[in-house]
Amino acid sequence: MTSASPCEDTRAGASLTAEPVLRVRDLQAHVAGQQVVEHVDLDVAPVGVTALLGRNGVGKTSTIKAILGLVGRSGTVELDGTDLVPLPTHLVVRRGVGYVPEDREVFAGLTVRDNLRLAERRGSTHHYDLVYDLFPELHQRGGQAAGTLSGGQQQMVSLARALLNDNQVLLVDEPTKGLAPRLVAEVSRVLARAAQVAPVLLVEQNLQVVRDLAQHAVVLTDGRSVHHGPAADLLADDELTQRLLGVHADTGDQGRPADPEAPA
Amino acid sequence: MSTVVLLLFTGVGLGAIYFLVASGLSLIYGLMHVLNFAHGVFLSLGAFLGFEVASRLGATTWTGFAASLLVGALAGAVFAALTERLLVQRLYERHIEQVLVTVGLGLAAVALFDGIWGTDPRFISGPAWMGRTTSVLGANVPNDRFVAILVAALVLLGMVLFLQRTRYGMIIRAGVENRAMVTALGIDVRTAFTLVFTIGGVAAGLGGVLASHYFGYVSPLLGQTLLIFAFIVTVIGGLGSLTGAAIASVLVALLQQFANYYLAGTGDLAVVVLLAVVLLTRPSGLMGRRA
C-alpha cells in the first residue's frame, strides 16, 4: 500500500509481551435482552494495530460497542488500570478512548466544522493541525453539511473526530466498508499514521488492510474470542484463515463487495 | 373578506399558542424519545402563577402583564427541570415507564390545581389595550392575538438562535440525529436533556399566560386540553423538528378556525382528518426524518 506500516517499528515486536493498553476479560454484551457477545478476552497492544477479526455477525461491532458502554455489558475492560465497565459512555470516552464507528455516523445536519467542534473533548488538546494535515479537504469543506459529503469524505470526518483528541486507544470499526479501492488505500495510510499517535483496535474485513497494518490479531467466533496471536502468523496459515474467517488468506477481502463510491 | 381576515388572525394566534406547547414536546421527543404527557401542566402552572402575580400587581396594568409572562415562563422552567431531573431521568431509556410517570404527573398536578384554585375557570383580565380590537382590512382583530403571535415568533427566533449558535444547541441538534454518537464523543447528554425540558417549560409557561388571555380564563384542565392538539401538531410537523412544529401549529389552528366557522363547528374533526391524511401519506410528518 501507500505507506510504511508500523510493523517496521521496532517497538512493535517488544509490545507482544508488553503491558496491553486495553485489557478485556470475559466481556459479555446484550442488546434488547439478547446476548450478542458471550465471552471475549482480548488485549490491545500498547503500540501499533491489533485487528479484531471474524466472519459477519460474530459480534465484532458489539464487542467495540460494549467496550464503550454503548450496549449493556459485563466483565472487565481495563484501561490504564481502571475498569471502564461501571462508567457511562461519555466518561469512558473522556478517559481517552477514540471511536470511529461502523457506517461513519457523522451528524448529517451539522457542518463539517461543527462535527469537529462537537468532537472537541474537554481536558484534551485539539489537534486541528494533524487533522487538517491528514484531510486538507475537510478544511475546504468546513461550512458544508456533513450529510452532503460522499462516503469517503464522511469517513474522513469520522476519523478526524477521533484523531482530534489525545487518545490512549482508538477503536476503529470497519473504516474501509463500502469504499472504492483508492479510498481504501487512503484510509489505510491514515490509520498507519493514527497508529503512531495511539494504539488501535481495528475491525476490518479487508485482509489486505489487516496485513498492511496489524501486528496482532484476535478472532471471534459466535461471540467468543477463539484465537490470539501475531497477525502475520494467522494470515500466513491458509487453513486457519479459511476455518476462522471463511476466506483464503491470499484473496484478501472476506467476500464483501465494495460499493464503488464516487469521490466528489 | 373581513371574516376571512379575522379567522386568519385568530387562527395564527391560536397557532402561536399551539407552537409554544408543541415546540417543547417536539424537541423533547426528538432528543430523548420521551412523550411528555405532563407538558400541559407546565402550561397550566405558568398560567395560574402568572394570573396570581398579575392580580397582585394589578391585572390591568402592563407591569402586571409583563410580570405574569415572566413568572409564567419561570414557573414552567422550574417545574419542567424538576420533572426531568427527579422523574424522567431516572427512567432513562425505559419508555413505557416514562409515559406512565408523565401521565401520572399530569393527573396529579391537575388534581393539585383543582385543590388550590378550584375546578371552575378563573376569568382573566389584562391591560385594556389587549381587550380592544384593531381594524385590519375591515376586520376587528382582538389585540391579544397580536401579542400571542409576537411572543411565539420571539420564542421561535430565540430557539433557532440557541440551536444554531451555541454549543449546547449543537449538542441538542446532534443528539436529535444520533444520541448514542454524541455520548461516544465524550459528551454528557443528560445536561442537554435537562436543558431541553427547561426550554420546553419556558415556552409552555409563556403559552399558559397567553392562552389564558386568548381564551379569557384559566382552569386546571387548560394545559392538558391544549396538549392534545399540541401532540397532533408535533406529529404532523414531524417529531423532533422545530420548523415542522411551527408550520404545523399554524396549519392546524387555521384549519380548525376555518372549519369551525364554515363547516358547522367541525374544526376538531378536520384536525383529526388532517392528522390521518398526514400519517397515511407522510408518516414521519411534514419535516420529520424517516424513522
Checking if the pLDDT of A253 tops 80, the result is no
Residue A250 is given by DSSP the state G
Contacts of B282 (CB under 8 A, 6+ apart): B288
> Would you say residue B31 has pLDDT above 50?
yes
In the prediction, which pLDDT does B131 show? 84
pLDDT at B176: 85
Q: How far does CA B175 lie from the centroid of its chain?
A: 21
The whole-number pLDDT of residue A17 equals 56
What DSSP character marks residue A150? -
Question: Tens digits of per-residue pLDDT, A146-156?
Answer: 999 999 999 99
- B181 vs A88, A101, A165: nearest CB: A101
pLDDT in tens, B260-282: 999 988 889 999 999 999 999 98
Residue A111, pLDDT above cutoff 70: yes
Place of cell 489537534: A127
A214 in Cβ contact with A202 (< 8 Å)? yes
Biggest CA-to-CA distance, chain A:
50
A45 and A22 Cβ atoms separated by less than 8 Å: no
Q: If you average pLDDT over every residue of chain A, what do you get? A: 88
Answer yes or no: is pLDDT of A6 > 70.
no
- ipTM at complex level: 0.85
N residues, chain A: 264
Q: How confident is the model at residue B283 (pLDDT cuts 50, 70, 90)?
A: confident
> Would you call A70 and B184 a contact, using CB atoms and an 8 Å cutoff?
yes
Q: Please give the average per-residue pLDDT across B102-127, as a whole number.
A: 93
pLDDT (average), residues B214-221: 93
Q: What is the mean pLDDT of residues A126-141?
A: 95
Lowest mean pLDDT among A218-227, B85-94, B189-198: B85-94
What is the pLDDT at residue A11? 41
Q: For residue A15, is pLDDT > 60?
A: no
Q: Which amino acid is at B173?
A: R
Q: Which of B173, B177, B186 sits opposite A93 (nearest CB)?
A: B186
CATH superfamily ID and name for A19-248? P-loop containing nucleotide triphosphate hydrolases (3.40.50.300)
- Nearest-angstrom CA–CA distance, A65 and A72: 9
pLDDT of residue A121: 93
Alpha-carbon torsion, ordered B257, B262, B266, B268, to 10 deg: -10
Can you give B223-262 as a three-state secondary structure string? Answer: HHHHHHHHHHHHHHHCCCCHHHHHHHHHHHHHHHHHHHHH
pLDDT > 70 in chain B, percent: 99
From chain B, pick out residues whose CB is under 8 angstroms from the CB of A122: 186
pLDDT at residue A115 above 70?
Answer: yes
Q: What number of C-beta contacts closer than 8 Å exist between A and B?
A: 54
Question: Residue B248: what pLDDT?
Answer: 95
B184 and A68 within 8 Å at the Cβ level: the answer is yes
Structure confidence at residue B208 as a pLDDT band (50, 70, 90): very high
B181/A89 touch (CB, cutoff 8 Å), yes or no: no
Contact call for A93 and B185, based on CB within 8 A? yes
Taking chain B, what is the end-to-end CA distance rounded to the nearest angstrom?
42
CA distances from B135 to A46, B60, B151, B262 (A): 77, 22, 21, 22
Determine whether the interchain pair A99/B184 forms a contact, defined as Cβ–Cβ distance below 8 Å: yes
pLDDT of residue B262: 92
Q: Does A93 contact chain B (CB < 8 Å)?
A: yes
pLDDT at B128: 86
Band of pLDDT at residue B94, cut at 50, 70 and 90: confident
Q: Is the pLDDT of residue A263 over 70?
A: no
What mean pLDDT do residues B253-259 have?
Answer: 94
pLDDT of A255 strictly over 90: no
| H/E stretch holding A26 | strand A22-31
Taking the Cβ of residue A78 and every Cβ of chain B, the question of whether any pair is shorter than 8 Å is answered with no
Cβ–Cβ contact A260 with B under 8 A: no
Asked if residue A8 has pLDDT above 50, the reply is: no
Residues of B in contact with A105 (CB under 8 A): 178, 181
Is residue A252's pLDDT more than 70? no
| Domains, in order of start, for chain B | 2-281 (1.10.3470)
Rounded to the nearest angstrom, the minimum Cα separation between A213 and chain B is 25
pTM: predicted TM-score of the whole model, two decimal places: 0.83
pLDDT in tens, B116-164: 999 999 998 888 888 888 988 888 889 999 999 999 999 999 999 999 9
Long-range contacts of B87-92 (CB under 8 A, 24+ apart): B88/B32, B88/B34, B88/B36, B88/B193, B88/B197, B89/B190, B89/B193, B89/B194, B92/B190
Which carries the bigger pLDDT value, residue A258 or residue B256? B256
d(CA A88, CA B128): 55
Residue A256 has pLDDT above 50, yes or no: no
Cβ separation of B181 and A105 shorter than 8 Å?
A: yes
What pLDDT, on the 0 to 100 scale, is given for residue B289? 66
Output the average pLDDT for chain B: 92
The pLDDT, as a whole number, for residue B286 is: 86
